[in-house]
Amino acid sequence: MSYKVAVLAGDGIGPEVMAEARKVLVEVEQRFGLDITYSEYDVGGAAIDNYGCPLPEATLRGCEQADAILFGSVGGPKWQHLPPDSQPERGALLPLRGHFELFCNLRPARLHDGLESLSPLRADISSQGFDVVCVRELTGGIYFGKPKGRQGEGETEEAFDTMRYSRREIRRIAKIAFETARLRKQKVTSIDKANVLACSVLWREVVEEVAKDYPDVTLEHMYIDNATMQLLRRPFDFDVVLCSNLFGDILSDEIAMLTGSMGLLSSASINGSGFGLYEPAGGSAPDIAGKGIANPVAQILSAALMLRYSLKQEDAACAIERAVGKALAEGFLTGELLPAAQRDQAKTTKQMGDFIANAIQDGV
């Protein structure tokens, strides 16, 4: 089978971890007889530097012609002085999500074998496991609502964002959460702030309606503030966590850390046609960029999600996941997963990619 993938490595650690994902994909292609053509495009800060805008026309056209987008991360202090809409995040990533209507963001997280003691979970909790999927609405809510901006001056100046959700937007993401739960532990925890926000009241109403079609799935509602706490207190009780755009952004970072590191959480952003953008849940990590120490696992697992959801190559996706599992179970770890006293044993970004690629070559 042949496919076209647009590669947008972006900024900070983006190009470093993307190189490892590409290395792993080469092995996967050979082993499973796939023919993937990659086209690289500038995006984010790199595109601002080279073309003067974060999402050049050529990048967008290249993505339109591809079967999927493999994305690194964008942003960093270098571009923070620019007007908000010209910055990498608001000028490239959000427009890409909007342009392709990538409303469904899946962030699967589980505590890997070998990492139990590294998770900030207490030992008794980690022994019960942690395996959740965050199903996040990605093209609505306060990140996209209009009007947004600033007005006035001096002490009377004010800024405003608009949180807006339609029944249709809530219904389509809720359906995905229930379908996902059906294939797992049949539980959906829907996150909102219905004691305060009008959007959350509608959210709860529509989720209740959708739930009627899934009598086999248990639905619970939880306020976002309580959810941040319950995830720490009893993480093993969660299965599918259904969130709006803002709440999912926040909770998914917490979920990543419950598995040990931001560098482990992959992400699939998919539209109604199965087209998707696949990226690590974390950002460009300017604090470690250029040092060769970033964990490439989130990017590599995002490539696996691309194989699963857009290219429909389940066996290849599973092989990547097994190879990652092998690395972690054998204690082959990047520095952020190790206690400070053991950091001298940390593997580099490249060593991690090599190990995972070799495991696939060896038929893991």
Ligand X SMILES: NC(=O)C1=CN([C@@H]2O[C@H](COP(=O)(O)OP(=O)(O)OC[C@H]3O[C@@H](n4cnc5c(N)ncnc54)[C@H](O)[C@@H]3O)[C@@H](O)[C@H]2O)C=CC1
User: Helix (H, G, I), strand (E, B), or coil: what is residue 341?
Assistant: helix
362 is in an annotated binding site: no
Q: Using the rule CB under 6 A, which residue among 24, 28, 93, 324 binds ligand COI?
A: 93
Task: Rank residues 105 and 189 by Cβ distance to ligand X and give the closer one.
Answer: 105
The one of ligand X, ligand COI, Mg ion, none whose footprint includes residue 295, by CB under 5 to 8 A per kind, is: ligand X
Which position among 28, 70, 285, 352 is part of the footprint of ligand X (CB under 6 A)?
285
Give the nearer residue to Mg ion in terms of CB position, either 105 or 310.
Answer: 105
Is 168 marked as binding a ligand?
A: no
Query: How far apart, in whole angstroms, are the C-alpha atoms of residue 10 and residue 137?
Result: 23
| Interacting partner of 202 out of ligand X, ligand COI, Mg ion, none (Cβ under 5 to 8 A depending on kind) | none
143 has catalytic annotation: yes
The reply on whether position 321 binds Mg ion by CB under 5 A is no
Contact mark string toward ligand X, 13..52, x via CB under 6 A? x---x-----------------------------------
Position 316 contacts ligand X (CB under 6 A) = no
Rounded Cα–Cα distance for residues 183 and 166 (Å): 27
Half-sphere exposure of 76 (CA within 13 A, CB side): 23
Residue 298 structure tokens: 């989130």
- Does residue number 295 form part of the binding site for ligand X (CB under 6 A)? yes
310 annotated as belonging to a binding site for a ligand: no
Considering only residues 257 through 286, tell me which ones interact with ligand COI, judged by CB under 6 A. Answer: 281
Active site residue 253: yes
Distances (CA, A) of 46 to 78, 99, 148, 235, 266: 10, 20, 26, 38, 22
Q: Identify which of residues 219 and 231 has a Cβ nearer to ligand COI in the complex.
A: 231
Annotated catalytic residue, options 23, 193, 326, 347: 193
Distances (CA, A) of 151 to 155, 163, 276: 11, 18, 36
In whole angstroms, the minimum distance from the beta carbon of 278 to ligand COI comes to 12
> What is the rounded distance in angstroms from the CA atom of residue 283 to the CA atom of residue 270?
19
Among 16, 27, 192, 249, the residue binding Mg ion under the rule CB under 5 A is 249
Is the bond preceding residue 147 a cis peptide, omega within 30 degrees? Answer: yes
Q: Which stretch binds ligand X (CB under 6 A): 70-78, 130-138, 150-158, 215-223?
A: 70-78
Q: Kindly indicate which of the ranges 58-66, 236-244, 245-253, 356-364 contains the residues binding Mg ion, using the contact rule CB under 5 A.
A: 245-253
The residue nearest ligand COI at its CB is 89
CB of 198 to ligand X, least distance (A): 27
Are the C-beta atoms of residues 140 and 104 closer than 8 Å to each other?
no
Q: Is 195 annotated as a binding residue?
A: no
β-strand partners of 131? 110
Cα–Cα nearest to 218, from 249, 242, 194, 234 = 242
Q: What radius of gyration, in Å, describes the C-alpha atoms of the chain?
A: 20
> Residues 6 or more apart from 364 whose CB is under 8 A from it?
319, 322, 323, 326
Q: Which is nearer to ligand X, 73 or 190 (CB)?
A: 73
Longest dimension (CA), the chain: 65
Q: Is 107 labeled as ligand-binding?
A: yes
Q: Which of 13, 75, 72 is nearest to 41 (CA)?
A: 72
What angle in degrees, to the nearest 10, is found between the helix axes of 245-258 and 224-233? 10
Is 161 tagged catalytic?
Answer: no
Cα distances (angstroms) measured from residue 105 to each of 85, 93, 243, 245, 269: 22, 13, 10, 9, 4
The binding site for substrate consists of 97, 107, 136, 225
The binding site consists of 76-89, 97, 107, 136, 225, 249, 253, 283-295
What residues make contact with ligand X under the rule CB under 6 A? Answer: 13, 17, 73-76, 89, 93, 261-263, 279, 282-288, 294-295, 298, 336
What residues make contact with ligand COI under the rule CB under 6 A? Answer: 89, 93, 249, 281
What residues make contact with Mg ion under the rule CB under 5 A? Answer: 249
The residues carrying an active-site annotation are 143, 193, 225, 249, 253
The binding site for NAD(+) consists of 76-89, 283-295
